[in-house]
Structure 1
């Protein structure tokens, strides 16, 4: 995409000189041994990137997985994949509409009951793009409201009901993650719109706020761009001509999530920031001092 910089991306996608389209040795979850016990909740785990996150954690050896989404058959398929990878893992399937407060509260209650209150990691993957309309005046209000509800309000509800479990887990990883997108920086071009990009930008600011509120209590709030992955959501609203640009593995994001959380608080210096799963993790680690000192990878007012 030669015009990405002119669309508003800047050089964010080139933050590391080396990029990846699939898991590699440094992020291979099958080479990880998570501490025991270790419980992960994936919201939006029925397919695509969410299923890839769940199976990535299954490879790393957690004691428990909570899989949530609206479609139970999809969750059962993901659970079967996870059990095939890791027959010892305990799995709780919870039907959940992320925009319904009662559903998300029930998800927290089910998680607490199943695993005795333990919860180490939450990954909010649920998202919706809606039709790509280039102008506010041509955007359907229902599509706009739906994007705000799923991408922003849903993340708020997940934080409200699940963060207390993360904070109360003694010795836990205390990681709250949202699958974000580099599209939050798009201001023009064929993907610019007032539904997906703006609602995901609101989600990113919410994640920064969560970091500011709870980092002092040991919580990390990571926003992770999953790479350019061709999903059912993309297929519904993206022109077929753009499909070749969506060449990243649906497992890429999951491998990064495991990398961020496998060693407790060692990656908490990336909390409150937007990172990309396509970046080379060794180069990211090498930039730690620069990222922290300059407070990089955040939305800021330039003046």
Structure 2
């Protein structure tokens, strides 16, 4: 029996579509929200800061390893906004290494002290090295992928959970379609993202009843400094970065709260996915699971 497909039968998008258009359907949906973003100094993180600002958030707390890069992002965000949105937006920058648990805790504390709460938490910081088979790879590099992709996310959720419970907030964990793949040389990256999907399930299990919503999101196949590390994947990177950032705005708008605790791809048409809601909920789909097939 062939393996079951790991993609739902919905339209696939590679750029912004009407369902995630911040200038249309999603206009103003983040109004008044406080958004904390890791890995915001470039690429998907920077685009996410732009998207939430355009959607009307009142506070952006953006973090990364370089204050200069974050300052550049903050300036770019502010200069791109209409005057009314720019006046209503406060942006704070913070240099922090997500693998440093104490530093992450202090960063979250600074955000809450500045803005009073966190409404939306975007765990975007990630790490990958060029693909290498297990016996040939650098063990320290292999483990660093886990330290960032899992340890860094744990540190962030560990410290921010209390604030998110108070705000009935949203968490977006930036995962990868690689979580569903098994590619030679990618054992560290793909297994870390697979574990991230399961971690989202645990966050939902432990905090969903207290109002927290969490999604493990494949951002799309996007050219970034991170994705360009492995040359073999470069031909597949065909998606626009705004596909990811606009999808995050929709996921945190409240319309997709029923998907909390699940893996979602930015490529999937969310309106078509919503038409399959009953099936997804009844069969508890879009979660990590051992498929025993006909052995049932």
Q: Distance in 2 between matches of 1:36 and 1:50?
A: 19
Q: Paired residue for 2:121?
A: 122
User: Which of 39, 43, 66 lines up with 2:38 in the alignment?
Assistant: 43
Superposed displacement of residue 40, structure 1: 0.6
User: Which of 199, 204, 218 lines up with 2:197 in the alignment?
Assistant: 204
Alpha-carbon displacement from aligned partner over 1:77-116 (angstroms, at most 9, x marks no partner): 2211221224121001011100001210111111011102
SS in 2 for 1:297: coil
Superposed displacement of residue 34, structure 1: 2.7
Q: Distance in 2 between matches of 1:193 and 1:34?
A: 37
Q: Does residue 286 of structure 1 match 2:275?
A: yes
SS in 2 for 1:184: helix
Alpha-carbon displacement from aligned partner over 1:232-275 (angstroms, at most 9, x marks no partner): 11222223xx4332010111111111111123xx4221111110
Q: Does residue 71 of structure 1 match 2:72?
A: no
User: Which of 273, 284, 288 lines up with 1:295 in the alignment?
Assistant: 284
Question: Which runs of 5 or more residues in structure 2 are unaligned?
Answer: none
Q: Does residue 218 of structure 1 match 2:211?
A: yes
Superposed displacement of residue 205, structure 1: 1.3
Q: Distance in 2 between matches of 1:45 and 1:16?
A: 32
Q: Paired residue for 1:87?
A: 86
TM-score (norm 2): 0.91
Alpha-carbon displacement from aligned partner over 1:121-143 (angstroms, at most 9, x marks no partner): 0000000111201x211121111
Please say if residues 229 and 249 of structure 1, whose CA atoms lie closer than 8 Å, have aligned partners that are also in contact.
yes
Q: Distance in 1 between matches of 2:146 and 2:10?
A: 34
Q: Distance in 2 between matches of 1:30 and 1:80?
A: 21
SS in 1 for 2:12: coil
Cα gap change, 1:201 to 1:113, in 2 (>3 Å)? same
Question: Which runs of 5 or more residues in structure 1 are unaligned?
Answer: 1-5
Q: Paired residue for 1:3?
A: none
Q: Paired residue for 1:267?
A: 256
Q: Paired residue for 2:144?
A: 146
Q: Paired residue for 1:107?
A: 107
Q: Paired residue for 1:33?
A: 28
Q: Distance in 1 between matches of 2:171 and 2:183?
A: 30
Alpha-carbon displacement from aligned partner over 1:154-179 (angstroms, at most 9, x marks no partner): 0000000111111122xx4x111100
Superposed displacement of residue 202, structure 1: 1.6
Cα gap change, 1:35 to 1:254, in 2 (>3 Å)? closer
Please say if residues 34 and 59 of structure 2, whose CA atoms lie closer than 8 Å, have aligned partners that are also in contact.
yes
Q: Paired residue for 2:227?
A: 234
Q: Distance in 2 between matches of 1:295 and 1:57?
A: 30
Q: Which runs of structure 1 show a deviation greater than 3 angstroms over 4 or more consecutive aligned residues?
A: none
Cα gap change, 1:36 to 1:227, in 2 (>3 Å)? closer
TM-score (norm 1): 0.89
Please say if residues 30 and 249 of structure 2, whose CA atoms lie closer than 8 Å, have aligned partners that are also in contact.
no
SS in 2 for 1:66: strand
Q: Distance in 2 between matches of 1:161 and 1:112?
A: 11
Equivalenced residue count is 284
SS in 2 for 1:87: helix
Superposed displacement of residue 35, structure 1: 5.6
